[in-house]
Amino acid sequence: MIPAARVDEASHPMLIINSDDFGRSESVNRAILKSFDAGLCSSTTLMATMPGFEEACSLAHDHGLREHIGLHIVLRDGSPLTDGLKKFPRFCDRDGRLALESSPPVFALDVSERRALAEEIRAQIARCRTNGIPLSHLDSHYHLHNLWPILGVVIAVALSEHVPYVRLARNWGPGITLRKRAYKAAVNRKLRRAGLSRTKYFGSIEDYIFRKEKRGSIEERSSFEVMIHPVFHDKGFVVDAGEDEPLENRIKAVDSFREAVSFNGTKYLRGVSTV
């Protein structure tokens, strides 16, 4: 196999463009694959509990994406992989579906809840790895890993399962109050102290543009993970979910987007396996 092109981080700023929700559905899978092939993203995170999971794994193998995939931890929507989590109303509804909410805030978990949560996250990791996806990092659906007691469990599992990185909390962009900024800083400090942070900043395309406008070009000074959600528009082209403008047009506002890499520092080469 031909190795993936590796970027020298010492001489090049690191940009990661991550497509969330790989495995959510056949349509989302195809939109993400099209984004990779068009050079619009460099990384993705896989939903181990969703209907499109097996197809996503097959596409990953066929298109040389294995080393560019992390786990998108699912704690809301769909059903858990483990029965233990269904016993706790905080995590599942009466039908056994995942239903964790961020409001009201979750301040603490008891020992049984932490154990059941850890087992579920490990099961999601294991399902990916059993299907040949080694996992470059962790993030979560609805950013639920940012909840303080959830974060502690995610960090412990990441370290024990040797998953090298966990996504930061959004730390740049408009609309972040001082209170939220302080909380997000605490979350990110905890991730950095655990050795699990990969970039200095995390946010959407709009957040990246906002920082660029406030600080000038960030290309030479900072690393940034940009999050996108590729889906097909009714007219057939790929957009970031909720937008009408083609993703290709919007992503051009991100400096050197075609040089973006995955969490392991490799650049996706279309049609070339990275294993």
Element (H, E) at 236: none
Domain ranges, residue 25: 5-267
> What is the DSSP pairing of strand 138-140 with strand 201-204?
unpaired
What's the pLDDT score for residue 26? Answer: 98
Kindly state whether residue 229 falls inside one of the protein's structural domains.
yes
Q: Is residue 102 part of a domain?
A: yes
| 111 in a structural domain | yes
| Rounded alpha-carbon distances, angstroms, from residue 259 to 6, 27, 136, 229, 270 | 11, 26, 18, 19, 13
> Looking at the domain assignment, is residue 274 inside a domain?
no
Please check whether residue 272 lies inside any domain of the structure. no
pLDDT of residue 2: 32
CATH of the domain at 179: 3.20.20.370
pLDDT at 13: 66
Tally of structural domains, the chain: 1
Classify residue 273: in a domain, yes or no: no
For the chain (length 275 residues), average pLDDT per consecutive 10?
A: 38 83 98 96 98 98 96 97 96 96 88 98 98 98 97 98 98 92 97 96 94 64 91 96 96 92 91 41
The answer to whether position 214 is within a domain reads: yes
Q: Does 237 reside within a domain?
A: yes
